[in-house]
Chains A and B, each alone.
Chain A
Amino acid sequence: MQTHLQRLEAESIHILREVAATFAKPVMLYSIGKDSAVMLHLAMKAFYPAKPPFPLLHVDTTWKFKEMIRFRDETAKRLGIDLIVHINEDGVRRNINPFDSGSNLHTHVMKTEALRQALDTHGFDAAFGGARRDEEKSRAKERVFSFRNSGHAWDPKNQRPEMWKIFNTRIGKGESIRVFPLSNWTEIDIWQYILQEDIPVVPLYFAARRPIVERDGMLIMVDDDRMKLHPGETIQERMVRFRTLGCYPLTGAIDSPADTVEAIVGEMLTARTSERQGRLIDRDEAGSMEKKKREGYF
Chain B
Amino acid sequence: MPAEPSADEASLRTELGRQPNKSLLRFLTCGSVDDGKSTLIGRLLYDTKLIFEDQLAALERDSHRYGTTGDDIDFALLIDGLEAEREQGITIDVAYRYFATAARKFIVADTPGHEQYTRNMATGASTADVAVLLVDARKGVLTQTRRHSFIASLLGIRHVVLAINKIDLMDYSRSRFDEIVEDFNAIGAEMRFESVVPIPMSARHGDNVTARSTHMPWYDGPTLLEHLERIDVEEDLAAAPFRLPVQYVNRPNLDFRGFAGAVAAGTVKTGDTVAVALSGKTSRVKAIFTPQGEATEAEAGEAVTLQLEDEIDVSRGSMLVAPQTRPHVADQFAAEMIWFDDHHLLPGRSYILRTETQQVNATVTDLKFKTNVDTMAHEAAKALEINEIGTCTLSTQTEIAFDSYGFNRSTGSFVLIDRMTNATAGAGLFRYPLRRSANVRWQALEMDRAARAEIKHQKPGVIWLTGLSGSGKSTIANLLDKQLYAQGHHTYVLDGDNVRHGLNRDLGFTEADRVENIRRVAEVAALMADAGLLVIVSFISPFEAERRMARERLPAGDFVEVFVDAPIEECVRRDPKGLYARAQRGEIANFTGIDSPYEAPENAEIHLQTKGTSPEASVEFLIQWLRDNRFM
Contacts and interface: CB of A to CB of B under 8 A. Distances in A.
Interface stretch (A10-18, A29-37, A54-62, A103-111): A10-18
B260 A163 contact: no
A5 B423 CA distance: 32
A196 B20 contact: yes
Interface stretch (A67-75, A84-92, A226-234, A255-263): A255-263
Interface string B1-28: 1111111000010011001111110000
A6 to B, nearest CB: 7
B97 A140 contact: yes
A10 B417 contact: no
B52 A164 contact: no
Interface stretch (A93-101, A114-122, A123-131, A270-278): A270-278
B413 interface: yes
A184 B262 contact: no
B256 interface: yes
B250 A47 contact: yes
Nearest to A239: B3
A10 B301 contact: yes
A18 B247 contact: yes
A196 B262 CA distance: 22
Contact of A164 (B234, B291, B410): B410
Interface string B22-49: 1110000000000000000000000000
B389 to A, nearest CB: 14
User: Interface of chain B, helix or strand or loop or mixed?
Assistant: mixed
Nearest to A172: B422
Given A50-B252, A161-B340, A10 B3 contact: no
A17 B54 contact: no
Given A49-B258, A160-B424, A196-B20, 20 more contacts: A2-B301, A4-B20, A7-B301, A17-B261, A48-B305, A49-B289, A138-B81, A140-B96, A161-B120, A161-B123, A166-B413, A166-B415, A168-B422, A170-B352, A188-B100, A192-B16, A255-B1, A257-B6, A270-B6, A287-B83
Interface in B212-257: 234, 247-248, 250-252, 256
Contact of A10 (B12, B84, B291, B305): B291
A49 B252 contact: yes
B262 A165 contact: yes
Contacts of B126: 163-164
A189 B7 contact: no
Given A14-B262, A265-B16, A49 B424 contact: no
Given A4-B23, A140-B96, A166-B355, A14 B55 contact: no
Interface residues of B, number: 77
For chain A, give the interface size range: 35 or more
Contact of B21 (A3, A51, A266): A3
Contacts of A290: 81-83
B511 to A, nearest CB: 45
B201 interface: no
A211 interface: no
B303 interface: yes
A137 interface: yes
Interface in A152-198: 156-157, 159-166, 168, 170-172, 183-184, 186, 188-189, 192, 195-196
A45 B291 contact: yes
B7 A270 contact: yes
Contacts of A165: 262, 356, 410
B95 interface: yes
B231 to A, nearest CB: 14
A21 B415 CA distance: 18
B16 A266 contact: yes
B12 A184 contact: no
Contacts of A272: 52-53
A138 B78 CA distance: 11
Interface string B618-629: 000000000000
A1 interface: yes
Contact of B409 (A13, A133, A140, A164): A164
A10 B302 CA distance: 6
B415 A267 contact: no
A163 B422 contact: no
Contacts of A256: 3
A20 interface: yes
B250 A50 contact: yes
16 contacts: A2-B301, A10-B301, A14-B261, A17-B260, A49-B256, A140-B81, A141-B96, A157-B84, A162-B123, A165-B410, A184-B96, A186-B100, A255-B2, A258-B6, A266-B6, A272-B52
B468 interface: no
Interface of B: 1-7, 12, 15-16, 19-24, 52-55, 78, 81-84, 86, 92-98, 100, 104-105, 107, 119-120, 122-123, 126-127, 234, 247-248, 250-252, 256, 258, 260-262, 289, 291, 301-303, 305, 316, 340, 352, 354-357, 409-410, 413-415, 417, 422-424, 427
B383 to A, nearest CB: 19
B262 A10 contact: yes
B260 A267 contact: no
B427 A161 contact: yes
Given A165-B410, A265-B16, A269-B12, A1 B22 contact: no
A134 interface: yes
Contacts of B423: 160
A177 B474 CA distance: 39
B385 to A, nearest CB: 16
A267 B8 CA distance: 10
A150 to B, nearest CB: 13
A1 B234 contact: yes
Contacts of B409: 164
Among A11, A134, A157, A165, the one with the most B-chain Cβ atoms within 10 Å of its Cβ is A165
Contacts of B291: 6, 9-10, 13, 45
A138 B289 contact: no
A1 B233 CA distance: 12
A213 interface: no
Contacts of A39: none
Contact of A161 (B15, B53, B251, B424): B424
A163 B16 contact: no
A274 B413 contact: no
Contacts of A134: 97-98
Contacts of B355: 166
B107 to A, nearest CB: 6
Nearest to A50: B252
Contacts of B78: 137
Nearest to A276: B54
Nearest to A147: B422
A20 to B, nearest CB: 6
A162 B119 CA distance: 10
Given A21-B247, A170-B422, A164 B16 contact: no
A26 B98 CA distance: 29
